[in-house]
Structure 1
Amino acid sequence: MNELIVHCGENRTEVALLEHGKLVEFYEEHKQERTMAGNIYRARVVNVLPGMQAAFVDIGQKKNAFLYVDDLLDPHLEKQPKNKPSITALVREGEELLVQVTKEPSGSKGARVTTHFALPGRCMVYMPFADYVGVSRKLGSEAERNRLKLLGEQLREPGEGIILRTAAEGAGAEQLSYDLLFLRKLWTSIYERRKESEAPCLLYGELDVVPRLVRDAFTTEIDRMSINEQDKLQSIVSLLQGFAPELVSRVTYAPTPESRSRMQGIERELERSFQRKVSLASGGYLVVDSTEALTVIDVNTGKYIGTDGKDSLELTVFDTNMEAAEEIARLLRLRDIGGIVIVDFIDMQQDRHKEEVQERLVSTMKKDRSKHHVIGWTKLGLMELTRRKIRENISQRFIETCQACKGSGKVAVRTRKL
């Protein structure tokens, strides 16, 4: 059973997504610390750096946001110039412009922003200036993709862009039109609001974590959604009645003691999943190391020595790698690991086994809503993939930098005498 569990506490809201009893996504939002990704600001350019082809803009936060030259060009890739102009030709210091946060601030870095605006709805993402129609690649049926693309072309106005999401599968023109009209009006109100404000200021704030996940993740594949607060439950029901009334019956009330008990179990699973060494059910294990540039995952057989009737080392290694592929896909979602990821699977001799391990990783990651790409095996026999990260890594709850070693992880055993 797939389940969304929402626990509203005094100071924070926690949401867990379980697929077949396994924790695959976890979100936490404090009342004083709302997410910034998706917010739209009227900003002021404070510094233009030609050498970096970027600018820093003031959006009213502690740290200035980073605006790259690509995010100032036409949002339609086919209309972008082959040779990028200098950023000094596109923006100047002191200029005011509208920007949208695409990546949360992290560590010493400020937020990443763009002028390629995107407003997500239930069935589509509305892009006011993109001038094209896209369809989610997760929709497997080519006929359905073509149907939705044709509908999108008929519904949009010249210059507008829309991307049909997986939730649009099977939707008719009326449902898509309702979504589009709502998002178009929302954008118009945001755009008009800029005239009444001075930079830097917030023009549009993305939804709180619960309604955002109801919009993006609560589909027919979710069997139940439980929540421990009656007021928030009613707001979720009202939201669903507007775009997915067939899901209202799946929303249930869970008394706080029951909800808290389940969250305690989820907390234990989070602690296990955020360790450097993560055990596999068979006895094998993964070692996860993250650096500034990439994340490296090492697969080991550990205590797994194969099963009865399988006396082949190749089969033992293959079984471990197949199990590891599924666990890695889960950890990438749960930890929200982004950027370059290198997986050192245990060496396999048969090409067929390598192909099956890659296929297992690709198929398991299809449920990941973050943009990702499994590139494949490198010449050194490593699996390479990339994944887009938007929110702050929740590992900060479980791991902090050691003040003694500053993250080097080494202990001096003796001091050299001169």
Structure 2
Amino acid sequence: MSEEILINVTPQETRIAYVENGVLQEINIERSRSRGIVGNIYQGRVSRVLPGMEAAFVDIGLERAAFLHVSDIELKPEEKETGVETRPRMIYDLLRTGQNLIVQVIKDPLGTKGARLTTEITIPSRYLVYLPNGRNIGVSSRIEDPVQRDRLKDILAEFMAESIERVGENEIGGFILRTAAEGATAEALRQDYDFLLRLWASVQERQSQTNGVGLIFEDLPIALRTLRDVLGRYVEKIRIDSRETYHRAIQFAQEMVPDILPILEHYPGERPLFDMHNIEQEIVNAMERRVPLKSGGYIIIDQTEAMTTIDVNTGGFVGSKNLEETIFKTNLEAASTIARQLRLRNLGGIIILDFIDMIEPDHRLAVQETLKRALEADHARTKVCEVSGLGLVEMTRKRTRESLEHILCTVCPTCSGRGTVKTAETVCYEIFREVTREARQYHAKQMLVIASSSVIDRLREEDSTSLAELQEFIGVPLRLQADVHYLPEQYDIVLM
């Protein structure tokens, strides 16, 4: 599998495209006016404690208060060491209104919800993740070689022992060795180790200078975060179409991730980078409800605030053997397509998959396994449940930022997000009822009805007889006026 990362930069936004074997798999967008805040560290102040929800709202200086659940409040060192808590943790035992604390954002604000916070601070670098409030050394589970795991832990333990002897145990914290650390030299680990300690010292200094609430550490911009996190992936090329960003990337890579220097490339071409790889069209396609399958079937994706539903249909695929085989092949193809679409559209939360009903148990199992294998490439954590009694597959996908649709789109002003609008006939009958109400309440010499062209045309044609009967009933003449600026459901009745 070959993977390329394409970075398109403009003054307004940066877009990161992950392309595998020539096919777009994921798109990340960060706009200069609304940068994501996941990873940022703030000094916050508890504005409200909610015992009924075992949570608190924390003011971190944003428009909406952020949310901190009791499960995201870090355990005390003695609780971590024993692994046992003396009694259930209650929010009112841990926080009080007006209390200041350091928090880190783990979820961007989504819709009407504020950001989600944790007090368990983590700061990643090339090989390590620093835990300022920790004490232990952890190793990524993806480093499977026990000899390698022990070697890395021994190196880090030596560094920490030197630091503890110099400044004391409580000043050091804990570390996690990332997957990229496998095979790293002691010198490289030392550079990361010293860098993280210096960085945390600067965060503490900034906190001491912050009187109220506010930002005390900002994560890297999306282009540099991408470079930092690229190690361990099978990336053949990273192309950047901005010369300025490319030079910043080279400088960052030299200091932090020199291994990726050979695959960094500046794209100076006249033709836009995303056009070269058909990324723009893929983004347009990702806005559609209907996703065609190569076999002739299709899936329908509907995103709501509560959950996302995905329906699988055979469409024009008739198969060559029998109905069960046709359904099975459609579902298999749909399973792989769904996994890609979830990643591409960044759909999270609860997701309900309605595959076409299958009679054979082996077919159901094969479709479920295909889905799970396809989801293995997804960086977001997913959980897939067994097929329910109604033939549905329930799954969840961790959501840390807005979906692609929410970033690029807004609620339709015509339908207000319903996805449908009232017919001209329905609006005409609403007008009839409103005219009747107005005539009973007020004594008007004449009424003017202003509405969209489609509604006015219907009043003048199909409903002209009903309109004449209404005028005779209320005893008030009605004038009609079409306005091109009126939406299909919009109308006004003016008394004259």
The one-letter amino acid paired with 1:250 is I
Q: Take 2:274 and 2:99, find their aligned partners in 1: how far apart are those partners?
A: 52
Structure-to-structure mapping, 1:301-316, within 5 angstroms: 301-306=314-319, 310-316=320-326
- When residues 311 and 11 of structure 1 are mapped into structure 2, their CA distance, relative to the original with a 3 A threshold, is same
TM-score, structure 1 as length reference: 0.89
| 2:129 corresponding residue in structure 1 | 125
Q: Verify the 8 A CA contact 2:148 2:183 in the aligned structure 1.
A: no
- In the other structure, the counterpart of 1:395 is 405
Instruction: Select 1:363's aligned residue among 358, 373, 380.
Output: 373
Identify unmatched segments of 5+ residues in structure 1: none
CA distance in 2, matches of 1:71, 1:212: 24
User: Could you tell me whether the CA contact under 8 Å between 1:59 and 1:199 is conserved in 2?
Assistant: no
Q: Give the secondary-structure state (helix, strand or coil) at the position aligned to 1:46.
A: strand
1:373 corresponds to which residue? 383
Report deviation, 1:397.
4.8
Paired letter, 2:101: L
Tell me if the contact between 2:74 and 2:118 (Cα under 8 Å) persists in the aligned partners. Answer: no
Asked if 2 retains the 8 angstrom alpha-carbon contact of 1:220 and 1:247, the reply is: no
Cα distance change, pair 272–393 in 1 and its aligned pair in 2 (3 A): same
Partner of 1:278: 291
**Match of residue 191 from structure 1:** 204
2:336–2:374: 8 Å Cα contact kept in structure 1?
A: yes
Kept in 1, the 8 Å contact 2:293–2:333? The answer is yes
The alpha carbon displacement at 1:207 in A equals 0.5
Residues 373 and 385 in structure 1, CA contact (< 8 A), matched pair in contact too:
yes
State how many pairs are aligned. 412
2-side partners of 1:260 and 1:164: how far apart?
35
**Which is bigger in relative contact order (C-alpha 8 A, separation at least 6)?**
1
How do 1:22-61 residues align onto structure 2 when only pairs under 5 Å count? Answer: 22-61=23-62
- Tell me, yes or no, if the aligned pair for 1:133 and 1:149 is still in contact at 8 Å: no
- How far apart in 2 are the matches of 1:80 and 1:191? 30
Q: Is the 8 A contact 2:414 2:421 kept in 1?
A: no
Tell me the residue number matched to 1:62.
63
Of 249-258 and 196-205, deviating more is 249-258
Deviation at 1:78, TM superposition (A): 7.0
Q: CA–CA distance in 2 between the matches of 1:279 and 1:80? A: 52
What is the Cα deviation at residue 218 of structure 1? 5.3
Q: Residue by residue, what CA displacement relative to the aligned partner does 1:191-241 show, whole Å, maximum 9, x if unpaired?
A: 232111112111100100100011113555111111122222122122223
Asked if the contact 2:9–2:242 (Cα under 8 Å) also holds between the matched residues in 1, the reply is: yes
In structure 2, what is the equivalent of residue 329 of structure 1?
339
Aligned to 2:215: 202
Cα distance in structure 1, aligned partners of 2:132 and 2:296: 52
Of 316, 323, 327 in structure 2, the residue corresponding to residue 317 of structure 1 is 327
DSSP 3-state at the match of 2:376: helix
> Is residue 148–residue 182 contact of structure 2 (8 Å, CA) maintained in 1?
no
Q: 1:163: how far off?
A: 3.5
Partner of 2:262: 249
Greater shift, 215-224 or 68-77, is seen at 68-77
Out of 119, 138, 145, the residue aligned to residue 143 of structure 1 is: 145
For residues 178 and 359 of structure 1, the distance between their equivalents in structure 2, rounded to whole angstroms, comes to 42
Residue type matched to 1:228 in 2? D
How big is each residue's C-alpha offset from its partner over 1:377-416, in whole Å with a ceiling of 9 and x where there is no partner? 2333322222111112221355432334432334445558
- Tell me if structure 2 keeps the 8 A contact 1:373–1:386: yes
Contact 1:56 1:67 in 2 (8 A): yes
The structural deviation recorded for 1:101 is 0.6
Q: What is the alpha-carbon root mean square deviation over aligned residues?
A: 2.7
Unaligned runs of 5+ in 2: 161-168, 434-496
Contact 2:136–2:174 under 8 Å retained in 1: yes
Q: Pick one of 337, 354, 357 that aligns with 1:344.
A: 354
Counterpart in 2 of 1:228?
241
The code of the aligned residue for 2:55 comes to A
Query: Residues 281, 77 of structure 1: CA spacing in aligned structure 2 closer, same or farther, 3 A cutoff?
Result: farther
Whole-Å separation in 2 of the counterparts to 1:80 and 1:338? 32
Q: Do 2:8 and 2:274's aligned partners in 1 also have CA atoms closer than 8 Å? A: no
Q: Does the alignment pair 1:268 with 2:272?
A: no
Per-residue CA distance 1:356-390 (angstroms, 9 max, x = gap): 22222222222222222223323333222221111
**CA spacing shift, 1:366–1:180, aligned 2, 3 Å:** farther
**How big is the shift at 1:77?**
10
Moved more, 179-188 or 278-287: 179-188
Deviation at 1:34, TM superposition (A): 1.9
Quick one: distance in 2 between partners of 1:128 and 1:268? 44
Residue pair 1:271, 1:398 contacting (<8 A) in 2 also? no
CA contact (8 A) 1:74 1:80 kept: no
Give the letter aligned to residue 153 of structure 2: G
- Normalising to structure 2: TM-score of the pair? 0.76
Q: Does the aligned pair in 1 maintain the 2:138–2:177 contact within 8 Å?
A: yes
Structure 1 residues 326 and 181: alpha-carbon distance in aligned structure 2, compared to 1, 3 A threshold: farther
Tell me if structure 1 keeps the 8 A contact 2:22–2:277: no
Give the letter aligned to residue 361 of structure 2: D
Match of 1:19 in 2: 20
The structure number with the bigger radius of gyration is 2
Counterpart of 1:8 in structure 2 is 9
Deviation at 1:173, TM superposition (A): 4.3
Q: Percent identity?
A: 39
